[in-house]
Amino acid sequence: MSELALVMKTPVEQLIPAMLAWNNTELMAQVEATLKQYQGLTYTDEQMGEAKKDKAALNAFIKALNDERIRIGKVYAAPYDRFKAEVDEVIAKVKETVGEIDAQVTAHDQAIKEKKQADILAYFESVIGEFAGLIPYERIHNPKWLNVSVRMPAVQADIDKVIEGARNAVVAIEALHSEDEETLKAYYFRNLDLGAALTENERLKQERARVAELKAKKEAEAKARAEAEAAALEAAKTSPMVAPAEEITPAAAPEAPKLIPLDFHVEVTLEQAKALQRFLVENNIKYSKI
């Protein structure tokens, strides 16, 4: 391809515009002299019409000066604007061809990546062995493997390392002789992190211990309640319950009421028997076994 280059037919030094010469100093002096008459000036209500005229005259001067600046700027910029447009036209033409070439390059690179991806997947499937279905390729894929700078031996070494790590992890988990062995293996194959699986093992052990402790506590409480209820029932069957009498002095004791003997038989539950016993005691009623 022939060399393409922009060549200036006119030396760039000659293209630099000279500084614009204008009556800057004289005009500035005139402006300062004119503005002195407004310094400290205060318009009365009757002079508001004059104030508006002065304001309009000064604004008109500002606009005229700025309009001239814009006009001269356009004249000075015209050669450069034309030059820029011409250069942009050339660049656009070249970019069209660059785009066409880039599409082919991109398609070529994509084809190479797809071929490499197919080779990587084929190798993975050839060595995955007993872990097929447990370690899907998507879980270990590294986008960097598809870079041209990464050779296949390096990719294969990475895959071999993952598989060897899985074998070692299974051995380590089985060596724990954990009740949760299958759960731990499943946990490992979800993230391929042996450290995380060992941490999960400790968590499950602690959780199981807490559950066992709670179960034992509840069983002990239930046993204690059952023994207490059985003892109370046995006591109700074999021993009379006499409410303790208050110790009073003979002088302060009221006349004892006449007691009437009353024999009766009832059939009750254990809870009802306890309630009946509490009633007799609370009401100071003497009773005995028939």
Q: What is the pLDDT of residues 123-156, one digit of tens each?
A: 999 999 999 999 999 999 999 999 999 999 999 9
Domain residues for 152? 130-218
Residue 56 in any domain: the answer is: no
Position 25 pLDDT exceeds 50: yes
pLDDT at residue 241 above 70? no
- pTM for the predicted model, two decimal places: 0.53
Look at the chain and report how many structural domains it folds into: 1
Tell me: the pLDDT tens digits for 70-119? 998 898 888 889 989 999 999 999 999 999 999 999 999 999 999 999 99
Roughly what angle, to the nearest 10 degrees, separates helices 48-127 and 152-175? 70
In a domain, 158, yes or no: yes
Work out the mean pLDDT of the chain and round it to a whole number.
Answer: 86
Tokens of 86: 């011409």
* Cβ–Cβ under 8 Å, residues 137 and 192: no
Q: Among 47-56, 228-237, 238-247, name the most confident range.
A: 47-56
Percent of the chain with pLDDT over 90: 57
Residue 289 has pLDDT above 70, yes or no: no
Cα–Cα distance measured from residue 91 to residue 85, given in angstroms and rounded to the nearest whole number: 10
> Is residue 103 domain-resident?
no
Whether 273 is in a domain gets the answer no
Task: Provide the pLDDT for residue 269.
Answer: 80
3-state secondary structure of 179: coil
Mean pLDDT confidence for 225-235: 83
Cβ–Cβ under 8 Å, residues 261 and 290: no
Contacts 24+ apart (CB under 8 A), 269-277: 270/229, 270/232, 270/233, 273/233, 273/236, 274/232, 274/236, 277/236, 277/241
Judged by average pLDDT, the poorest of 51-55, 71-75, 240-244, 256-260 is: 240-244
Q: What mean pLDDT comes out for the span 55-84? A: 91
In a domain, 227, yes or no: no
Specify if 171 maps to a domain.
yes
pLDDT at 243 over 80: no
Q: Please indicate, yes or no, if residue 156 is contained in any of the structural domains.
A: yes
Strands (E), the chain: none
